[in-house]
Amino acid sequence: MKNLLKVALAQIAPIWLDKAATLAKIEANIRDAANERAELMVFGEALLPGYPFWLALTNGAAWDKKVNKELHAHYVRNSIQIEAGELDNVCQLAKEFSMAIYLGIMERAKNRGGHSIYASLVYINEKGEIKSVHRKLQPTYDERLTWAPGDGNGLQVHSLKQFTVGGLNCWENWMPLPRTALYGQGENLHVAVWPGSDHNTKDITRFIARESRSYVLSVSSLMKKSDFPENTPHLEAILEKAPDVLANGGSCIAGPDGEWIIEPILHKEGLIYHELDFNRVYEERQNFDAVGHYSRPDVTKLTVNRERQSTVAFED
């Protein structure tokens, strides 16, 4: 039925900072979700190839420190350049299984020189086409030591059966104007991706659902001290101050009434499934619609710049 959509939330750990191995794990999980007839699959923020946990453990803000420079170089080397075809296999699986996918990656953006990296949320449609790449607008706190700020180009929504889906990265979900940019395009299924932990997902997930009268999928990764690969550069320096659990999950689903459908799930790796009924969106929009009958665009209105930013514009 077109009003029903089966979703899969991938609460998994990366093979940390190992691009090839993490891609293989992602592809295996896509195949598992296909066996359960999932129509939309979501992976956490920066899952490919992992979150920069070292910054909080190695005095990441110190100038000219060898450990931070070498870990940053290793991170960039294991980030994804889409233009080089590094997501082609994922796109092929999306097409093969008629499955839409949201995937959190570290993007080594060619149009910005290919050396800086962006926390990007990639939407691949059920035909295997990359339809948007949303570069995180504002990295959070110590993330700014290794991630570059993005732009508004990826503030886009996509049709999927009767749903209109859009997504934001981590603390972008606390930014009211980017949320409004998605609401105004008709979003009714909001995807929020996180590096992990219920302290992020337990409050904002229900809030966005109640504010927007939409379904909200919050998808987090996992990371334990034991998950750091043995070949990680400067592993001893990282492990010296690392807690046993760096990301405990917290993936969850809230309905358009702002109530839990699936409460945050902790310390459990695997795929979380649920079937969403679009009719619930219309039911909850009856008394509140933030960009429809309960808005006043004659008084307040948002302007969004969706131009893809680049340092150089050539006129050959």
The pLDDT score that the predictor gives to residue 1 is: 76
The pLDDT score that the predictor gives to residue 147 is: 98
The answer to whether the bond into 256 is cis (omega within 30° of 0) is no
Helix (H, G, I), strand (E, B) or coil at 270: strand
Gap between the Cα atoms of 23 and 35, Å rounded: 19
Domains (range + CATH), the chain: 4-285 (3.60.110.10)
136 is catalytic: yes
> 19, 25, 136, 161: which one is catalytic?
136
> 19, 86, 107, 170: which one is catalytic?
170
CA angle 193, 198, 204 (to 5 degrees): 65
Gap between the Cα atoms of 40 and 217, Å rounded: 11
The pLDDT score that the predictor gives to residue 179 is: 98
Best CA proximity match to 155, nearest among 309, 307, 312? 307
45 is catalytic: yes
Per-residue pLDDT of the chain (316 residues; tens, 9 = 90+): 789 999 999 999 999 999 999 999 999 999 999 999 999 999 999 999 999 999 999 999 999 999 999 999 999 999 999 999 999 999 999 999 999 999 999 999 999 999 999 999 999 999 999 999 999 999 999 999 999 999 999 999 999 999 999 999 999 999 999 999 999 999 999 999 999 999 999 999 999 999 999 999 999 999 999 999 999 999 999 999 999 999 999 999 999 999 999 999 999 999 999 999 999 999 999 999 999 999 999 999 999 999 999 999 899 9
Give the residues across from 196 on adjacent strands.
none
The pLDDT score that the predictor gives to residue 2 is: 87
> 19, 25, 39, 45: which one is catalytic?
45
Is this prediction's pTM over 0.85?
Answer: yes
The pLDDT score that the predictor gives to residue 162 is: 97
